[in-house]
Structure 1
């Protein structure tokens, strides 16, 4: 478990297939992993790891949506998941990149009951996922025209930083490469990084701790 100030912020595990690149996996909470896993299959997705217990920490499954994007399901036991979020060095956002925007939204609306809020920005087709029943934004879906035709979709994990340029520079010093250079956007300063094992992740600005 990766911890920040003594609280869990992420997990790191061995790959099941050494020939595949590393990846950060987006996990969604579920009150009943078995029921959610059954709904994945009913909605046209697949399970690469059917539900199983992780000792007394919780029960999980790993799934693939109909467009090829991998994601996890987590039913908390003694471990709720991310215990610190939205601050420097912790998870702050997850978004699906896909060539089939409508089909992706339809699948996750059926699976989790999401409604969607369209984000208006030039050249961007994007919506945030609103969970039921409180309407809170919990993820995003983006039409990614840079994906080749037929390429699977993928979930991109974003980590918060109080200095994106410094974080990107440090990543480079550690051997990572920038897939998207540091840039200012309507949503904040951001960059996309590829780690040493091929894992891609985003870094986006948040207010410094204590601000």
Structure 2
């Protein structure tokens, strides 16, 4: 198991879902990703920690009544000083829509957007360090920003987090860059083209590992979700883009044992 002892600051450390019905979300994701749940108290609005073999893998929160915005998975970057990082986000053309704010004694949070409109989170850990497992079935394994302006997104994330972008060659018409923190690939940038619906905004897409992508897709449809892109093979594994019953999109992927380094 790829257990995380100490999350690296400046890289993605957590994912969580904001959804209108936590009970329905647990019923959907539990069998799909093999999760058990630690449901919080009324004071936390029943924020739910999703676990893989007892380790924290992701979270789920209740969308407040009247809150604007659709159900969605959010990728959080770990930071040492969230107030300073929020100013850095603003300095480089991003926006801070919520926070920075304390989340009890667990850490400090801010919700931001990059200059192309894609939303992401910042997390300054205290008691809650972030995900404790990755690259295993049920755990987060990749994330990418699908954007209308890849050059602007790359410039922003490179300036804010110190990432180095490397363009993937041999991708045909698709333009894709990987973002690296030192030698480690931590995310990607995909240029949205004319094939994307005109109404689709720039957004972060989050990936979860599964034992079998085809079985996972079957479960998605049986449990009331939708399939946006059916299972297909890639150099990194067999993957599909899916949507939960509330409308949040994500990717399931069966990781290839011979996956090349991004």
Report the TM-score, using the length of structure 2 for normalisation.
Answer: 0.75
- Offset at residue 100 of structure 1 (A): 0.4
> Which runs of 5 or more structure 2 residues have no equivalent in the other structure?
1-48, 258-262
Question: Number of residues paired by the alignment?
Answer: 206
Match of 1:40 in 2: 89
Match of 1:182 in 2: 231
Cα pair 1:88 1:206 within 8 Å, conserved: no
1:107 to 144, 156, 160: 156
Question: Does residue 127 of the first structure (1) align with residue 182 of the second (2)?
Answer: no
Q: How many angstroms apart in 2 are the aligned matches of 1:20 and 1:151?
A: 13
Cα pair 1:116 1:128 within 8 Å, conserved: yes
Q: How many angstroms apart in 2 are the aligned matches of 1:23 and 1:34?
A: 24
Question: Does residue 6 of the first structure (1) align with residue 54 of the second (2)?
Answer: yes
Residues 1:62 and 1:18: Cα distance change in structure 2 (over 3 Å): closer
Give deviations 1:110-164, integer Å, cap 9, x for gaps.
1101111211122221111111xx3211010001113455853100010001211
Q: How many angstroms apart in 2 are the aligned matches of 1:183 and 1:104?
A: 27
- For the residue of structure 2 that corresponds to 1:108, the secondary structure is helix
1:51-200 maps to which residues of 2 (within 5 A)? 51-120=100-169, 121-131=171-181, 134-145=182-193, 146-148=195-197, 152-200=201-249
> Which runs of 5 or more structure 1 residues have no equivalent in the other structure?
none
Q: How many angstroms apart in 2 are the aligned matches of 1:181 and 1:150?
A: 21
Match of 1:21 in 2: 70
Q: How many angstroms apart in 1 are the aligned matches of 2:72 and 2:198?
A: 21
Cα pair 1:53 1:59 within 8 Å, conserved: yes
- For the residue of structure 2 that corresponds to 1:165, the secondary structure is helix
Report the TM-score, using the length of structure 1 for normalisation.
Answer: 0.92
Cα pair 2:237 2:256 within 8 Å, conserved: no
